[in-house]
Amino acid sequence: MPPKVKLTLPQFTHAIVYAGGLLISNPVIADNEPRLGDPVTATELSRLSITVLPDGRGLPDGSGNALDGAQIYQTHCIACHGADGQNGINDRLSGGVGTLVSTKPIRTIGSYWPYATSLFDYVRRAMPYNAPGSLNNNELYAVTAYLLYTNKIIGDTDEMNATSLPAVAMPNRNGFDWPE
């Protein structure tokens, strides 16, 4: 159960104002909860909500594999992240497995990320850097599949979709301590 909301409310009072001989009640409300929010429809929410949870809730329809994803990566990603997710000018995406215990750990999708769903979610919300939101669902699944493939986590023809992606066994899945 969530904690009970406790609001600090001003004391209940009434301001009594006499105007032109008429008694006008102008209450200073005790129940200071304006309740002005506008209802939002399910249709509006379906366009707005892009949250993906680790169990796969929120993943859209569509699918793609690494063979398709390689092309998308070449077009949209390689300039910053380099061939196969290495040696780019920006974050390294692959390799580094086994380095977390070293003095120079390399944190990549394969060596560090605990959930494959986070990868799809992040690419969908934030990438490509100059045009986030520009890839369609099949392209997103395909480039996600490519990045998992370059990290040797899945095969090049494995289809990634709303069912298969949450089931991907990430190498560092159990490498984190989360508080209760």
Partner 1 sequence: MRLMSQIPQKQNQPPNVRVLGRRGFLVAGTTLLAAGTGTATSQPTQTSLQPPRSPGAPMTKYGRPSDHEADVVRSRIRSKTGTTGSGASGTPLQHLRGTITPSGLHFERHHSGVPMLAPEQHKLVIHGAVKQPLAFDLDKLHRYPMTTRTQFLECSGNSAALLSPKAQDWNCADIHGLVSCSEWTGVPLAYLLDEAGIDPTASWVIAEGADAGRMNRSVPLSKCLDDAIVALYQNGERLRPENGYPMRLFLPGFEGNMSIKWLHRLELTDSPAMSREETSKYTDLRPGGRAKGFTFDMDVKSIITSPSPGLNLQQPGVYQISGLAWSGKGNLSRVEVSADGGKSWIDATFDGAPQPLALNRFNAAWQWNGKPALLMSRATDSAGNTQPTRQVWIKQFGSNAFYHYNAIQAWRVFGDGRVENTYAT
Q: Which residues contact partner 1 (rule: CB under 8 A)?
A: 1-3, 5-7, 32-40, 45, 48-55, 79-80, 89-90, 100-101, 103, 105, 107, 109, 112-115, 117-119, 121-122, 125-127, 129, 132, 175-179
Query: Distance between CA atoms of 69 and 150, rounded to whole angstroms?
Result: 11
Identify the H or E element spanning 18.
strand 13-19
Q: Mapped to the 3 state alphabet, what secondary structure does 120-174 carry?
A: HHHHHHHCCCCCCCCCCHHHHHHHHHHHHHHCCCCCCCCCEECCCHHHCCCCCCC
**Minimum distance, C-beta of residue 53 to partner 1, in the bound complex (Å):** 5
Instruction: Using alpha carbons, select from 95, 144, 139 the residue that is nearest to residue 116.
Output: 144
Nearer to partner 1, 16 or 53 (CB): 53
Q: How far is the CB of 121 from partner 1 (least distance, A)?
A: 6
Q: Which is nearer to partner 1, 67 or 92 (CB)?
A: 92
Radius of gyration (Cα) for the chain, nearest Å?
25
Rounded CA-CA distance 24/111 in Å is 71
Q: How far is the CB of 23 from partner 1 (least distance, A)?
A: 26
Residue (155 or 175) nearer to partner 1, CB:
175
Collect all residues with Cβ–Cβ distance below 8 Å to 150 and sequence separation of at least 6: 66, 84, 85, 93, 94, 110
Nearest distance, CB of residue 84 and partner 1, angstroms: 18
Q: How far is the CB of 117 from partner 1 (least distance, A)?
A: 7
